[in-house]
Amino acid sequence: MDETHFISSTTNSPVPLTTRWEAPSNIALVKYWGKTDPQLPKNSSLSFTLSSSVTTTEVEFKANNKKTFEFEFYFEGVLKPDFHPKLNSFFKRIHHYIPWIALYSLKINSHNSFPHSSGIASSASAMAALSMCIMDMEKTLFPETTAAEFYRKASFLARLGSGSAARSIEGPVTLWGKNTPQESSSDLYASSFGNQLHSVFTAYQDTILLVDKGSKAVSSTQGHQLMHNHPFAEQRFVQAETNLERLLVVMQSGNLDEFISIVETEALSLHAMMMTSNPYFILMQPNTLKIIQKVWDFRKQTQIPLCFTLDAGANVHLLYPQSNKKEVRTFIADHLAVYCEQGQYLFDEVGSGAKKV
């Protein structure tokens, strides 16, 4: 299968439709960092799909008499022209695969379940929710589209909006990138790790410690660019593939010592890439490091398998089994909340993927 598989037919008669989908954020365990055009990650990645951190998007598809595609984007009811350039390039990239869109004008209204300024990236959940709405229209036009095709193409389209968004369509664990052990995996779309998953991971907890709620000094998109000509890029891509192969085994065995070792290595390698880019940059903050040290001390003292991961920012994701919820939450409240901006953190857990609402 290649990209041409996803090119749909066109139609002459537009059908009006309003549809609304909710899509979750995700947290990568093996990180994607570095990409080529168009939006093709340089290495495989694997993530937990989250449950409470979601974007809900409603799209109204109206027949467009001018026969040139147009859209308006509202965030929480307010027209947001500043989002247009990012959405414009998304629609330009996907137009080829959904030629029927030329007959429509879209009114897109989106909102997030997580607070406005929380430093949580919303591009994954936002692009995934929008892609589900687009696929709902495609299914309306072409009812023969199977469920498997629907989800695959939604992930394919979402990837063209934001690389990590490909992994926000399904749950509870998703994998992007062709690799040898997982035969069904693909470079075109992400797929669910599904029924091979060890039961400890099906309700894994993620508490997001909001160390810095402001916007990041360097965006992910800029960070990805800096992997071109990066002195350690090739070794990093090899490391990610090796870590992914190790993690695929752990996802089935439930070996939490190995899980912790891979996940924390991945988080620190991601940030090491940032620190060794040209120009270099640091997104962690002093409180990020204080939390990491406290997590290590806690794990040593209690033997509770609590670990951390980081996305491209200062916030810390704490990962732990559901069975340790009580002790970990007491530890967070008593010892880690002090390092969070306004003492804030968000509880989340592994979830099942996008749904129609």
- Contact positions vs ligand DP6 (CB under 6 A): 28, 31-33, 39, 45, 121, 123, 162-164, 220-221, 224, 270, 311-312
Taking the least distance from each CB to ligand DP6, the nearer of 224 and 230 is 224
Number of H helices, E strands in the chain: 8, 14
- Cβ-contact 93, 74 below 8 angstroms: no
Cα separation of 223 and 125, whole Å? Answer: 20
Distance of CA 278 to the CA centre of its chain: 26
Least separation in angstroms between CB 39 and ligand DP6 = 6
Nearest Cα neighbor of 88 from 112, 70, 64 is 70
Taking the least distance from each CB to ligand DP6, the nearer of 28 and 318 is 28
Least separation in angstroms between CB 32 and ligand DP6 = 4
Taking the least distance from each CB to ligand DP6, the nearer of 45 and 205 is 45
Question: Cα dist. 319→204, 263, 325, 333 in Å?
Answer: 7, 9, 10, 15
Cα separation of 223 and 283, whole Å? Answer: 11
Least separation in angstroms between CB 266 and ligand DP6 = 9
Q: Which residues contact 170 (CB under 8 A, 6 or more apart)?
A: 49, 151, 155, 190, 191, 192, 352, 353, 354
Least separation in angstroms between CB 222 and ligand DP6 = 9
Least separation in angstroms between CB 258 and ligand DP6 = 20
Reported as type and span, the H/E element at residue 60 is strand 45-63
Taking the least distance from each CB to ligand DP6, the nearer of 30 and 328 is 30
Taking the least distance from each CB to ligand DP6, the nearer of 163 and 321 is 163
Least separation in angstroms between CB 263 and ligand DP6 = 12
Taking the least distance from each CB to ligand DP6, the nearer of 90 and 298 is 90
Cα separation of 139 and 155, whole Å? Answer: 15
